Amino acid sequence: MTLAMSRDIRVVLVKLADRLHNMRTLGVLSPEKRRRIARETLEIYAPIAQRLGINDIRIEFEDLGFATMYPLRHRRLREAMKAARKNRKEIVTEIQKAIEVRLEGESFHALVKGREKHLWSIYQKMRSKKKSFRDIMDVFAFRLVVDSVDDCYRILGMMHNLFKPVPGEFKDYIAIPKANGYQSLHSLLVGMHGVVIEVQIRTKEMEMMANYGIAAHWEYKSGSNNVDGNQRRANRWVQGLLEMQKHAGDSLEFLEHVKADLFPDEVYVFTPNGEIAELPSGATPIDFAYSVHTGIGDSCIACRVDSQLTPLSEQLKSGQKVEIITADGAQPNPNWLNFVVTAKARSAIRHFLKNQQHDESVDLGKRLLDQALSNFGTQYKELKKSQIKRLLKETGAKSFEYILQQIGLGNRVPFAVANVLVPEDKRKIVDGKKNSTLPVLIDASDGLLLHYARCCHPIPGDPILGHISPGKGIVIHLESCRNLKEIRSNPEKCMSLTWSPDVRGEFAVELKVEVTPERGFIAALASRMTEKDATIERISVNEKDAFTSIVDVVLTVRDRIHLADILRRARGLKPVRRIYRVKNK
C-alpha cells in the first residue's frame, strides 16, 4: 500500500473508503474479528485519515471503532452527552447570539456554529488528562467560517474585544499550518457567566480542507495554492514512509515506526535560514537533524538552540531557532534511541547501528580467527579458496562473511573454525611449540562489540584479557581479575589482548579514598579531579568509623598516565589518608 501511495496518493483514499464501508458493516462478524478490525482502524486508519487532513472520515472511524472496542463505555458516554446537551442548550444559544450581534454591528458576514466534541475525543482526553466528563464538557466550542484570511484576523480582534482571551491559549495555524495542511485560528476565551469558550476562525476553503483534506483537491479548484501545498505535504510524508520501510528490519519494526509517526502534536522550530520545520511534540535536536537530512543526523555532535549550546536530549519548544553542529567522522550514539521521538530518526539510527555492528563484527571476527590460526602456523590472509569452501560445506553457512560476523558476535568459537580450516596434518609447529597465540589489538573505546567489564574497569596501559560473550562480542577484563579465574587457561573462551598504541577515548575507573571527615571535603576532592580533565560519573560516601570515611568514586580517564596524575593531585589534599584503585583481584 505504501508503494502504491507513493505513485498515486488517491490509492489511500480508496483504501480508507473501503475500510469505512467495512466498519459500517461490522455487525455480521464475530466479536473477536470485530475487535481486531476496530483496533487496527483506531491505531492505523484513523491516524492516516488525520495525517491526510480528512477529518470527516477520521471522526467516523473513531466513533465506530470506539463503539466496537468499548461498547459499554461508548453507551455511557453517549447518554452523558445527551443529558449535557439539554443543560447546555440555553448557554450555547446565548453565546452564539452575542457573537452574531457583534458581527452584525461591525457589518461582517460569518457563519457561526456551535461545535461538539465527538465521543472518542472526549474519552481520550478523560484518560490522558485524568479529567472528569464534566471538566471536559465545561468548554463551549464555536466555529466561525468567513470569506477571506483578512477577515479571520479582524474577527479574532472582535472576539478578543467581546470576551477576555486566556493568556497563552492562542494558536495561529493559518500562518503556520499543521503537518496535514490544517489551517485555522484557535483562541480560548472567558465568556459570559464565566464559561470557557473555544473559538476556531477559518475561511470556507480552510473548512473544506479540514473536513476533506487531500480529498478536497478533487472537490474544488479555488485556493489552489493551499491545495497543492497540502498535496505536496502528503507526498512528502509518503516518501518519508518509503525511506523508513527501506531502513526497517522487518514489517513489525516498520509498523512500530509508522504508529509513532501518526500522532503528531506538532512543535514548530526555525532553521538558521528562517525556514519552518514541523516536528512532533517532545522532539529533540537529534530529531530535527534527521528531519533536515539523514547525513546531518548521522554526523551531528552538538547543537545551538537560540544561539546557546544545548544538550542533544533537550526537548524543543515552538518558535526556537535550531542550529546543528556536525563533524566529519562522527556517528550516531546508541543512547540517542532513548530520547528521539520521530520515526525517521529512530529508523535511521537503528539502520546505521545495524550496519556498523555488522562491519565491526566482521572485522573483529577476522582478528579473532587470525589469532586462532596463528596457533597452527598460518594467517587469515594465507587462507585458500578451497579451505573456505570446505568450511562452508561443513558448517552449512551461507557465506564466509557470515561466519566471520558470528565469530565477532561471540556466537562461534574461533578455535573451532580454525580447526576446520586447517586439518591436523597441515598444522605447523611455531617456535618449537604449538601454542604461540598473538594478542588481539584493542583500538576502540566505544565499539559496539567491545565491552569493558564493570567488575575491574580496565584502562589503556593495563595488562588485559578478554572472553567471548555470545551476542555481545569481547568483554575486556584486567588480567588479574578474579572473575576470569576458571576460564583463564581455556583458549576457546579466554584470549590475550593488548592495547593499540593509537587507542583513544574515555574509560571508567573506580577509586576508593579513605579520608578524615571535614566540611567541604567532597567538593574539594571533586574539584581536584576535574581540574585534570576527568569526568566524575558517580560519587558516594560511607562512614567506616567516627574518624574515617570511605569515598567511592567512578570517573573516566584516558589511560594509566592520566590516572596517575589524578591520584597524585588528590593525595595532595590534607584529609586524604589513602587513595587506591579497585581492581577486583
d(CA 574, CA 494): 43
pLDDT at 511: 93
pLDDT tens for each residue of 2-34: 666 666 667 778 888 999 999 998 888 888 899
pLDDT at 563: 92
pTM of the model: 0.52
pLDDT tens for each residue of 202-228: 998 888 877 777 666 544 444 444 445
pLDDT at 448: 64
Query: What is the number of H-type helices and E-type strands within the chain?
Result: 20, 19
What are the structural domain ranges in the chain? 2-138+201-225, 351-499, 507-581
pLDDT at 257: 62
User: Is 37 a residue whose pLDDT tops 50?
Assistant: yes
Q: How many CB atoms lie within 10 A of CB 295?
A: 12
d(CA 406, CA 365): 7
pLDDT at 231: 62
User: Is 245 a residue whose pLDDT tops 80?
Assistant: no
pLDDT tens for each residue of 367-377: 888 877 877 77
**Percent composition of the chain: helix, strand, coil (DSSP 3-state, to 5):** 50, 20, 30
When mean pLDDT is compared over 56-60, 107-111, 407-411, 443-447, the highest value belongs to 56-60
Sheet bearing 196-203, strands edge to edge = 111-115, 139-146, 196-203, 185-190, 164-172
- pLDDT, greater one: 336 or 329: 336
pLDDT tens for each residue of 507-533: 889 999 999 888 888 888 888 888 888
Q: Outline where DSSP puts E strands in 262-421.
A: 266-270, 276-280, 300-305, 308-310, 322-326
pLDDT at 435: 47
% of the chain beyond a pLDDT of 70:
84
d(CA 370, CA 384): 14
DSSP class of 197: E
- pLDDT, greater one: 137 or 578: 578
Per-residue pLDDT band for 293 (boundaries 50, 70, 90) equals: confident
Q: Give the domain 507-581 fold.
A: Alpha-Beta Plaits (3.30.70)
Average pLDDT over residues 481-497: 79
Average pLDDT over residues 337-351: 86
pLDDT at 420: 82
User: Is 429 a residue whose pLDDT tops 70?
Assistant: no
- Give the Å distances, CA to CA, from 567 to 104, 456, 570: 82, 17, 5
Cell numbers found for residue 543: 562512614
Cell numbers found for residue 507: 574509560
What rounded mean pLDDT belongs to the chain? Answer: 81
User: Is 201 a residue whose pLDDT tops 90?
Assistant: yes
Count Cβ atoms within 10 A of the Cβ of residue 230 and give its class: 0-12 exposed, 13-18 middle, 19 or more buried: buried
pLDDT at 217: 54
- Minimum mean pLDDT range among 51-65, 396-410, 485-499: 485-499
pLDDT at 434: 47
d(CA 514, CA 104): 83
User: Is 59 a residue whose pLDDT tops 50?
Assistant: yes
Average pLDDT over residues 330-359: 84
pLDDT at 120: 86
Average pLDDT over residues 466-488: 82
Average pLDDT over residues 420-435: 63
DSSP class of 381: G
